[in-house]
Structure 1
Amino acid sequence: MAARPGCRFCLKNELLLDEPIFETGHFYMLGSIDPMVPLAGMVIPKRHSDDPFGLLPEEWTDFGTALATAKAYFSHHRPDGYTLGWNVGAAGGQHVFHTHLHINPRFAGEPNEGVGIRRVMRTPMWGLDQ
């Protein structure tokens, strides 16, 4: 699998700050290195693609296995729910332009309980006619 030069999520570049938690045929998972979100992860394809729209059919086939493995990894924390999200493009909040799905276990009683990703979309958007 070809790596994009300088991409820190392309495994062949050896730029990761930590080791993958698990690997499937087409994906691997990293844990959070963000101290503000210590219990989280990212499922990342081994092959470079800029965003999920560039994933290949065989990657989508393996994606279910990767997602189930990620859920199992967090299960001992007994989350009450999850927030999953793709940030696509700079305007969408993507900072590393290699496809990655954020997985955030959620818990009853946490300060943001019940707040989902749609809250961002409920904010008035510039340039759109109502």
Structure 2
Amino acid sequence: MTVADCRFCLENQLLVDAPILETEHFYMLGSIDPMVPIAGIVIPKRHSDDPFGLTAVEWADFGNALAAAKEHFSPHKPDGFTLGWNVGAVASQHVFHSHLHIIPRFRGEPNEGVGIRRVMRTPAWKPED
């Protein structure tokens, strides 16, 4: 399935750059954000709004995509990675086609030690019942 205006549906030819790697069910784009030049996103070839819509077959290939992404970044010798899905507008998803952010992390970087736990350590907010 392709969504007509989705920039991550390959058939739409709306990408500003070319995939840098592919597996059977996923492709990866490199970062176009100058603030995070060594990063990427793994995207399913079939449109799904979020990772909850991925099929069992796609999940079976997901490990291959992650391994290929890690290998792609290996020349940079990262000391760690931050991986993240933003699901829904409230969670900062801007393109509603599933995609996993992969950010290699390095000792000595300005944000060393800052990761997803910062969000989890923010005082809890609970909607009114």
TM over 0.5: yes
- When normalised by structure 1's length, the TM-score is 0.95
RMSD: 1.1
Residues 1-130 of structure 1 aligned to structure 2 (within 5 Å): 2-128=1-127
Unaligned runs of 5+ in 2: none
Q: Deviations over 1:8-66 (max 9, x none)?
A: 00000000000000111000000000011111000000000000000000000000000
Shift of residue 114, structure 1, vs aligned partner: 1.0
What is the one-letter code of the residue matched to 1:17? V
- Report how far residue 124 of structure 1 moved: 2.5
Q: Distance in 2 between matches of 1:91 and 1:43?
A: 21
Task: Report SS of the residue matched to 2:27.
Answer: strand
For structure 1, the residue ranges without an aligned partner over 5 or more in a row are none
- Number of equivalences: 128
Moved over 4 A (4+): none
SS in 2 for 1:44: strand
Tell me by how many angstroms 1:118 deviates.
1.5
Q: How many angstroms does 1:127 deviate by?
A: 3.3
Cα distance in 2 between the residues matched to 1:59 and 1:123:
33
Name the amino acid aligned to 1:10.
C
SS of residue in 1 equivalent to 2:111: coil
Q: What SS is found at the alignment partner of 2:42?
A: strand
| Identity level (%) | 73
Q: Distance between the aligned counterparts of 2:43 and 2:78, measured in 1?
A: 22
